[in-house]
Structure 1
Amino acid sequence: MSSVTLTRYYAAVDAGDLDGAMALLAPDVRSAILLPGRAVRGEDRQALRDYLTGRGDVVRRHVPLRQTTDGDLEFVYGKVVEDEGTTTGYFLASVRIDEAGLIAAYQVAFDTELSLLPDA
């Protein structure tokens, strides 16, 4: 898989490099994180940083399984693995990339059960 901005964002988040992850976001990035039973919405980088720091100290990794781009949109489908062995669910994320190459809008849906891929 080639490296798109969204996969670089997840790699930085997973490595604990929040400054690096935030550098990939436009200052006024709009976001929606759709979790089972709730949605977390934001209007800037700080909202995403607050969400990420509020998740606790679990060792968590985003494993991209599929990705594609279409113009200024990027899409990634993958699974979330905790403690290097337990799949906790599956995500479908999309972003819009602005003219500066930064993530201007971010939307992700996470489900603990449904995998779109039979082998995931």
Structure 2
Amino acid sequence: MGEAFAFATQAELTHSEARLLAYMALTALDTPNPERGVPARRYFGGREDAAYGLGKIVPPEPDDGAGDAAEIQRQRRNIFESVNTATRVLVSKGALRVVTFGREGRRSEYELTMRVRS
């Protein structure tokens, strides 16, 4: 976790980017779990999880025909775009490496690759 804060400072991450990285570091395993096949430093939470790491709660999918369905869908799109933007920056700055790209029914998986310069 401390490494995430140090990296955020060195890489000049924005508040949102640093917050997401800290959340990912907090939820990733520090040591591998061979029985479950989970290596250390892997984040595999979904978009909703990552949004929570940014301090956002994703509203549930609206019912068809609900009067506020368009507004809820807009909120969901905006939140997911915030997650995507922060994640892209973290990858480009070397904090994360994409292990598996997400698709319908499958979450993205990231390796925390941040290294603090001394």
Instruction: Give the TM-score of the pair, scaled to structure 1.
Output: 0.25
In terms of Rg, which structure is larger? 2
Higher helix share: 2
Instruction: Give the TM-score of the pair, scaled to structure 2.
Output: 0.25
Question: Which structure has the higher relative contact order (CA within 8 Å, separation 6+)?
Answer: 2
Higher strand share: 1
